[in-house]
Structure 1
C-alpha cells in the first residue's frame, strides 16, 4: 500500500496539468452561478437546495393529489415511507395525541434532510445540500425552538426548573449541575445535531470524489500513457461504487437520526420526570 501511494504521489507531481488532484475544502464553496456579489447570489450548492425543494414539493403534491382507497404501487410506496416517519418516528416517540401537534415540522425535517442528503450521490449534482453547515444549522435551530416551545407550552415557567434542576440532588451541587444541564440541553443539542449531519455529508462527498477522481486519473492519464499502474483504476472505481451504496444508506440514516432526535428532545421537554 505504501509503495502504491508513493507511485501515485510521483505521478501526481510529475505533471502539474494532468496530475492527480484530490478533493479540497473548496468543493463546499463553489463559485457563483447567478447574481454574484449580491445578497441573492446563487452558487451550485444553493441551486441544488432550490432544486431539491422544488422536487420535494412537486413529489408530495403528485403523490397526494389523487389518493385512492385501493392504492396504486406508487401510492403504496409513498404511504409506506410516510407511515414509517409518522408511526416509527413521531407517534412511537411522542404518542399519537402529542405527535399530531408536531408531525408537520418533524415530517418536514425528515424529508428535507433526506432529499438534500441524496443529492450527493446523483450524477451531475454530486454534492449534498447538507454538506455545508448553513442548512443543518437552520434545521437544528428549528428543532431547538420546537423543543423549548413544547416544554413552555405544557409546563409554563416550570419548564426551566424541569430542564435545569435534577431532583434529589443536594442543593449545593446545583451550583455545578445547573450550568452543565444548561450547556447539555440548550447548547450541545443543536450543536451536535448540526455537526453530526454536516460532517457525515462532508466525509461522504470527499470519499466519493476521491474514488472517482482517482479512477479518472488512472484510466485517462496513467493507463493512457501505457503504464499498467493505471489498472488500479478498476479498484478505485469498485470502491467508488461501494461508497456510493454506503452513502445512500448514510443519507437515509442521517435523516432518520435528525428527525427522531428532534422528537426525543420534545419528549424530554414534556416528560413528567427529568
Structure 2
C-alpha cells in the first residue's frame, strides 16, 4: 500500500508522513536559545535522575548472595567492566576508565530505550547534539592520553605504523591524521544518531499509518490493511529494542578501543 494511496483515501486531509520535524519539540521558548527547554533536553535530565535512582536502589543493600535487583545491576556493570574495559584496554589500565565507560553505556542505553517506552517514546540520541557531545568527550580523552604518554610529537608520530617504506609514509600519515582527528569522532556520533533517528521515524510511520488507515481512511480495504501495518510496527519495535542495546554497546566498545590505542606501546 503506497503513501499516495493513503493520501488519496483521505482526500485533502490525507495521511502526512512523519518528517524530521517530529524530533524538534521545544517546550519552553523556540528551542534555539540558551535558556530554552526542549523535550530531548528534559528526557536526558530524566534519564540521569533515573539512572542515579536505579543505581542507588540496586546497591542500597549489597549482599554476598545477590538478589535479583543486585544481580541485574552487577551483570550490567560486569558487561562494561569485564567484556569491554578489561578485555579491550587491558588489565593494567582499565579500572580508571570503567566509570566513564559505564556512565556512557548507561546514558546511551536508557536514552535509546526511551524511544519505545511509553509515555516518553522519544530516543534522545536521535538529536545529533547528544551523541556529538559524547563523541567529543571520547575524542578529548584519547588524544589527551596519547599526548600525555608520548608528547604531542610522539602522539602524532605514533599514527604511522612502523616498518613502512619511506615513500608511502606521507600518504599514510595524512590518512591516519584524518582518521584520528576527523573520521573517528564524526562516525562515532553519526552511527548512533543515524540508527536512532531512522529507527524512530520508521516506528512512527508504521504506528501512525496504521492508526490513520484504521480510524480516518474511511476505506474498508485500508482498515483491513491496518492489521498487518500494526503487526509490522510491533516487529519493528522488537527490532528497535535490539538496535538500541547494540548501539549503546558499540559506542562504548569503540570508545574503549580508541583509549586502548592511545595507551598502546606500539601502533
TM-score band by shorter chain is: over 0.9
CA contact (8 A) 2:7 2:16 kept: no
1:229 aligned partner: 222
Write out per-residue CA displacement over residues 14-60 of structure 1, whole angstroms, 9 at most, x where no aligned residue.
132xx211111111211x22255741211212111111111111111
TM-score normalised by structure 2 residue count: 0.94
Q: CA deviation at 1:6?
A: 4.7
Q: Are 1:46 and 2:48 an aligned pair? A: no
1:34 aligns with 2:20: no
**Matches of 1:102 and 1:5 in 2, distance apart?**
49
**After the TM superposition, which residues 56-95 of structure 1 pair with which residues of structure 2 at under 5 Å, given as runs?**
56-95=51-90
**Mapping of 1:1-274 within 5 angstroms?**
5-12=3-10, 14-16=11-13, 19-30=14-25, 32-36=26-30, 38-157=33-152, 158-163=154-159, 165-222=160-217, 225=218, 227-274=220-267
Q: Which runs of 5+ in 2 are unaligned?
A: none
Q: Which moved more, 1:20-29 or 1:169-178?
A: 169-178
Which stretches in structure 1 are left out of the alignment for 5+ residues?
none
Structure 1 vs Structure 2 CA RMSD = 1.6
Q: Which runs of 4+ in 1 moved over 3 A?
A: 35-38
Q: SS of the residue aligned with 2:27?
A: strand
The TM-score, its normalising length taken from structure 1, stands at: 0.91
Question: Would you say how many aligned residue pairs link Structure 1 and Structure 2?
Answer: 265
Which digits, 9 at most, give the CA deviation of each residue in 1:122-146, with x for residues without a partner? Answer: 1222210100100100000011111
Question: Aligned equivalents of 1:168 and 1:22: distance in 2?
Answer: 55
Query: How much has 1:228 moved relative to structure 2?
Result: 3.0
